[in-house]
Amino acid sequence: MAKILVAIANGFEEIEAVSIIDIARRADIEVVIAGVEDINLIGAHNIQIKADVKIEDVSTEKFDMIVLPGGLPNAFTLAENDIVQRLLKEFKEKNKKIGAICAAPYALHKADVLQGNYTCYPSFEKKIKNDGYQEEENVVTDNNVITSKGPATSIYFALEIIKTLKGEEIYKNIKDGLLA
């Protein structure tokens, strides 16, 4: 069974986090939510989520992919957290999948794992790099890195994760079931 790590800190974007978790679980992907600051976290719009583990208790060995939802200050916390940054680098070194949406590609940039082409929440490319920014694309896959724009694209981002980890048939079944 495929297994993903979803790392979140206070101020995470709830639509993105829950869409990733929900859609991955619909595809029988095991999801572990890792709290960066604590186990109990509060999203950007005051929705609480209880993480499964603290980020310091995570090992890359157990996961096929790490996924970072956006939201503020979550994205900045992920970009500045030494453990998250180490994990991102380890995922890249081990040729594992990495995903980030909204402002979270900034954390990928800080870890130097962002590939050539990417997308993000408009204006965050100025904090990342203009080179390779795909303004018109909602979801961009470049080698092992998947990025997406923001809350409204979160279902398509999660579906791309499904396609990457579970294949075309399961992707199509989940997509059709969601009416996407």
Q: What does the pLDDT look like over 87-143, one tens digit per residue?
A: 999 999 999 999 999 999 999 999 999 989 999 999 999 999 879 999 999 999 999
Hey, which residues are catalytic here? 102
Scanning the structure block, which residue is given the tokens 């989520």?
49
- Sheet arrangement for strand 139-142: 53-54, 30-35, 3-8, 65-68, 97-101, 145-148, 139-142
Looking at residue 130, its pLDDT comes to 77
Q: Is the pLDDT of residue 28 over 90?
A: yes
Looking at residue 129, its pLDDT comes to 83
Provide the 10 A C-beta neighbour count for residue 129: 12
**pTM given for the model:** 0.97
**Average pLDDT for 144-157:** 98
Looking at residue 29, its pLDDT comes to 98
